[in-house]
Chain A
Amino acid sequence: MREVYVLGVGLHPFGRFGDKDVIEIGREAVINAISDAGLPWQKVGAAYCGTVFAGPMAGNKVLARVGLTGIPIMNVENACASGGSALRAACQSIAGGFCDVALAFGMEKMPRGFIAGNVNDWFAVMGLAVNPQYFALKARWHMANFGTTEEQLVQVSFKNHRNGALNPFAMYRKEMSFDEIAQSPMVNDPLRLLMLCAPNEGGAAVVLATKEIAKQHTTKLIKLAATVLDSPLYGTAEVPHISVSARVAAPTVTMTAAHEAYREAGIGPQDLDLVELQDTDSASEIIYSEELGLCARGEGGKILAEGATEIDGRIPVNVSGGLLSKGEPLGASALAQVAEVVWQLRGEAGTRQVKDARVGLTHVYGALGNCAVSVLQR
């Protein structure tokens, strides 16, 4: 297998953009990534597009506006892990020797409001199947068993909005006060409105290449040391679920994907300088910090309260502002995490730069337990 490097990254800002066409949103992200890579579009040998809401053949529609070069274009739908899935496929096409330069991109223009569905109709008719319910059930369980507090849930959102205020691509780009968050309307107890990320619009793209080609175009080599896509083992509680086994204690999909990613990259969580993870809601950031091995089980709230996950902390989490500040365009979110880590590793992250960052991890988790994790190293 050949080593794979990130040659270029590009975003279309996350937010709401009126009548702007989702295909145009995707095109701008791709153009920015190609430009960042510094090579002509004709050099790209394969393309993978992650999207959930942009419709059939969305990737082909975007690339028809970039240039028709005859390359294979694969459209990937994998819920919140769509972009991560596209990245993995692009990585494999280079690692396997099928092409030397590959593009992964994703874009969305999502309906407003909370996501519901993905399960039998009767279940939703009864008033279940609304996504935040499942995050809230996990949050309540974590609070009851590990003493995670409501104040810590506020703090996650406070931290990420403060980071996001420094990110020109984030949707909110402003700080939220503790009180604003703590007094925002309750949605699914204990989760309040400003503790939940907003589905929105945006695009992201990543150009991957062999080491040989990467070296010809940049001195800031960023290695894609691992790309993992896992579905869950039997017995774990995914979003949403009608029932789940209480007899089987399987590791969660985040745990298995992280484990594989660390093995593939030949590192451990102690080697990470920053992490971009799926903060669908405040409690998820705390829970995934534990599942990714950034701290012991039950101590996610503690490392947050101690400041370890701040930009200047021991292990900065979501320095981009995370989904809480950026919003979540499903097909683009994982690739935007990769872009953030690449900027950080290149030392190009401006006011939110993590000092001397060398290794970063990205993590997305989606409906029915689709989970993608990647590790980037300079």
Chain B
Amino acid sequence: MTQATKREIPIAPGLFQRVDEGACLIGSRCLECDEVSFPANTFCPQCCKETTEKIPLSQRGRLYSFTVQRFRPPPPYRGPEDFDPYGVGMIELPEGLRVTSVLEQSDLTRLHVGMEMELVITKLFEDEEGREVVGYKFKPVGGDLQSEESTSSKEGRRRP
């Protein structure tokens, strides 16, 4: 937690950690069958035994499938009051699992199956005590892909 500040808390304990090269999700690997789970499990859901160890997961993976969330989800969703559609995807990691995640990408027309994605830890909202609640998202490798005609696309992603 080298970069963590006092006023920052994770959305839930044990999901991710900051490392020198950024951050990674924390999974678990079964010592018997090698199957990897996220979030980390104390038991292996395939072997049905308590045979796991915690491991850091790869920061990069491929977009397996995606959608766009066009309406504000019901509570307990805590996104910004001024709702903007956001991407949701399944990112396939080299460890052999697909993680469901919100995508950090402003031009949603540029998402496509197979694109390379990387993990980011980002502020989600500020809680009642003024702390920054942070969670994980995935973004295209090389950063947020902006459209060439960024003005028109920005209008395009907002619903009338």
Contacts and interface: CB of A to CB of B under 8 A. Distances in A.
Contacts of A185: 70, 159
Interface residues of A, number: 40
B78 interface: yes
Interface in B30-47: 35-39, 45-46
B124 interface: yes
Interface in A138-189: 138-141, 144, 185-189
A240 interface: yes
Category for how many chain B residues contact A: 35 or more
Contact of B35 (A139, A190, A248): A248
A31 to B, nearest CB: 35
Interface string B19-63: 000000000000000011111000001100000000000000000
Contacts of B98: 237, 243-246
A173 to B, nearest CB: 26
Contacts of A244: 90, 97-98, 100
Given A140-B113, A245-B96, A247-B35, A188 B67 contact: yes
A186 B71 CA distance: 9
B27 to A, nearest CB: 8
B37 A243 contact: yes
A2 to B, nearest CB: 35
Contacts of A130: 69, 73-74
B132 interface: no
A137 B66 contact: yes
B96 A124 contact: no
B124 A137 contact: no
Contacts of A116: 73-74
A138 B65 contact: yes
Contact of A127 (B15, B45, B86, B97): B86
Query: Which 10 pairs show the lowest CB-CB distances between chains A and B?
Result: A136-B67, A247-B96, A122-B12, A141-B65, A243-B38, A144-B113, A189-B68, A188-B67, A137-B65, A243-B99
